[in-house]
Amino acid sequence: MLKLKRLVLIYTIALLSASSSFAQIPGIIDLPDTISIPQTSTFLYISYSDTPYTFVWKYKGVFISSKSYINYEKAGVYTVDVKRFSQVIHRDTTVILNSAVIFDRKDTVYICRGDSVELSYPPNKNVHWSISFPNSTGYNIPNDSSIYLSKEADVYSSIFLNQGVFLLDCFVVVFAPVNSVFLGSDSEFCISKALDAGEGISYLWSTGETSRTIDYSGASGNVWVSVINKYSCISKDTIYLTKVDLPTSNFFISDLGAGRIRFTQTNQQSSVNYYWNFGDNKFGVGSTIEHQYPASSANYTVSCQATYKTANCSTSDTQNISVLISSVEIDKKVNFSIHPNPSSSTIYISGLPENDLNDLLIFDLLGKEVFSQKVKGTLEIDLKDLNNGLYFVRLGSTVKKLIKN
C-alpha cells in the first residue's frame, strides 16, 4: 500500500514538471507567435506523431481538429492543447496574419509605355522598397508607403509590423503588350470606306462611334480611332481619306467594217481603268479599244466597267450591237497612205485603186463622220474646217490614224 502511493506521487511530480516546460516533452514543437498567411493554405504542426499524446485544436475558441496538425486557411488566433491521459501537459497559441489585407498584388504588374504606375500600401505602414532595373544599378527606398515607376523593374518590399514581425513581397513591373492599331494607308473612296480598328475592349472614333468597325461616308479628311486594351493602355491611328466621285462609263461605237468595231469612252479619265466584255467571250482593257468579231453577222451585248485605280468603286455601261459582215467587206483591204501626217492644212491620200471607186470616210474620236467621198487614184483633202485632234480614215476594211495640228 505504501509502494503504490509513492508511485502515484512520482508520476504527479513528473506531470507538473512537463506542464511548466513543454521543451522537456519529447516530440512537441513550438508554434511561432505570428505567421503571415501565404497565397495558398499551409499547415501548423505541434507534434510529428499522434501518440502518445492527444490534441485539441481550436480556432477563435471553437474546436476544429484532434490531429497533431491542422491546415489553416483563415487569419485569426489558433490554440492547441496537448494532453496525456486527459491531462493538459502543454498549451500553445499562434496568430495568423492575413497579409492580403495589407497588400494584394499579382506577381506581374503591367505598365503602359509612356505612363507610370503607383505601387502602394495602406498609409502609415513602415515599408522598405528594393528596386532593380534591367542593365542598371538598383536602389532602396526606406519608409515610404507608395512609389511610382515608369519603366520595367524587379521590386521587393518589406512591411514591418509590431513585435519585429514583417511581411515580404516581390513582383516584376513590365510594359504591357501594345495593340497594333493600323487603319491602312491613306486612300480614296467613292461611297463609303470600311475601317477596322483591330482587337481591344473599347473604341472611340473621330466620328463619335464606339464600335470596332465603321463604314466611313463623310467628307475628305483625317479619321482617327483610339483603342483601349485589357491592360488599360491606349493605342491610336489616323488615316487620311479622300472622297471622289463615282467614275462614269458611257461609250459609243464606231463600225470600221468587216466586223471590226471601235469602242470609245465618252468621258475618259486617267485615274480610271476600263474593262471591256465584247460579248463573244473576249475581253479587253482601255479607254478606246478595237475588237474584231467573227466573220459572221450576229448580235452581241457589250459592257464596260469603269473602276477607279485607287478606290474600290466602279460603274458599268451596257449596249447591244449588231455586227453585219459581208464576204465583200471581209476581203476589201486597201493599202493607202496619208501624207503629210500630222498636217495643219492639206493632206494627200495615195495608193487608191485607179479603176475602182471606194468610199473614203473620216471619223472623229466620238465616232462622228466628218468627211465622206467616193475616190480613186490620189485624193487631196483640205483640213481647214476640222479642229485639231485625232481622226480615223477608213477605206474599205482598212483604217488609219490622222492627226490635225
Give 255-276 pLDDT, tens digit per residue.
887 788 899 998 898 889 999 9
88 within domain boundaries: yes
**Whether residues 350 and 382 fall in one domain:** yes
Considering only 8-22, 54-68, 208-222, 320-334, which range has the smallest mean pLDDT? Answer: 8-22
User: Rounded to whole angstroms, what are the CA distances from 71 to 48, 51, 135, 173?
Assistant: 14, 19, 43, 33
257 within domain boundaries: yes
50 within domain boundaries: yes
246 within domain boundaries: no
Q: What percent of the chain has pLDDT over 90?
A: 25
**Whether residues 7 and 64 fall in one domain:** yes
What average pLDDT does this structure show over 18-46? 67
Domains held by the chain: number: 5
Taking 70 as the threshold, does the pLDDT of residue 38 lie above it? no
Residues 242-252, buried b or exposed e (16+ Cβ, 10 A)? ebeeebebebe
**Whether residues 141 and 112 fall in one domain:** yes
**Whether residues 22 and 86 fall in one domain:** yes
Given pLDDT bands bounded at 50, 70 and 90, which one contains residue 37?
low
Contact assessment for residue 263 and residue 293, using Cβ atoms and an 8 Å cutoff: no
**Whether residues 259 and 314 fall in one domain:** yes
Rounded distance between C-alpha atoms, residue 399 and residue 258, angstroms: 11
Residue after which a domain boundary falls, among 175, 200, 226:
175
Q: What is the pLDDT of residue 210?
A: 95
What average pLDDT does this structure show over 4-33? 49
Rounded distance between C-alpha atoms, residue 345 and residue 341, angstroms: 10
**Whether residues 203 and 275 fall in one domain:** no
242 within domain boundaries: no
Q: What is the radius of gyration, based on Cα positions, of the chain?
A: 49
Q: What is the pLDDT of residue 237?
A: 95
Rounded distance between C-alpha atoms, residue 228 and residue 202, angstroms: 5
**Whether residues 260 and 286 fall in one domain:** yes
Q: What is the pLDDT of residue 19?
A: 39
Note if the bond before 38 is cis, omega within 30 degrees: no
**Whether residues 154 and 198 fall in one domain:** no
Looking at mean pLDDT, say which of 101-110, 303-312, 322-331, 366-375 comes out highest.
303-312
- Own/partner long-range contacts of 82-85 (Cβ < 8 Å, ≥24 apart): 82/22, 82/25, 82/28, 82/46, 82/47, 82/53, 82/54, 82/55, 83/53, 83/54, 83/55, 83/56, 84/15, 84/52, 84/53, 84/54
Taking 70 as the threshold, does the pLDDT of residue 6 lie above it? no
Looking at mean pLDDT, say which of 5-9, 36-40, 352-356, 391-395 comes out highest.
391-395
182 within domain boundaries: no
245 within domain boundaries: no
| Comparison of pLDDT for 137 and 236, the residue scoring more | 236
- The CATH number of the domain where 13 resides is what? 2.60.40.10
Rounded distance between C-alpha atoms, residue 387 and residue 393, angstroms: 15
Q: What is the pLDDT of residue 220?
A: 95
Rounded distance between C-alpha atoms, residue 283 and residue 167, angstroms: 81
Rounded distance between C-alpha atoms, residue 178 and residue 235, angstroms: 7
**Whether residues 136 and 206 fall in one domain:** no
pTM of the complete model: 0.48
Residue after which a domain boundary falls, among 175, 201, 226:
175
Rounded distance between C-alpha atoms, residue 314 and residue 303, angstroms: 13
**Whether residues 201 and 278 fall in one domain:** no
255 within domain boundaries: yes
Residue after which a domain boundary falls, among 71, 97, 123:
97
Q: What is the pLDDT of residue 7?
A: 29
User: Rounded to whole angstroms, what are the CA distances from 146 to 117, 151, 233?
Assistant: 10, 16, 22
Taking 70 as the threshold, does the pLDDT of residue 190 lie above it? yes
> Which structural domain range is residue 212 located in?
187-236
Give the tens place of pLDDT for each residue, 272-297.
Answer: 999 999 999 999 999 999 888 886 77
**Whether residues 53 and 120 fall in one domain:** no
Considering only 163-177, 186-200, 366-380, which range has the smallest mean pLDDT? Answer: 163-177
Looking at mean pLDDT, say which of 4-8, 115-119, 249-253 comes out highest.
249-253
**Whether residues 114 and 79 fall in one domain:** no
- Own/partner long-range contacts of 173-177 (Cβ < 8 Å, ≥24 apart): 173/109, 173/110, 173/111, 173/117, 173/119, 173/149, 174/108, 174/109, 174/110, 174/111, 175/110, 175/111, 175/112, 175/113, 176/110, 176/111, 176/112, 176/113, 176/229, 176/231, 176/233, 177/229, 177/231
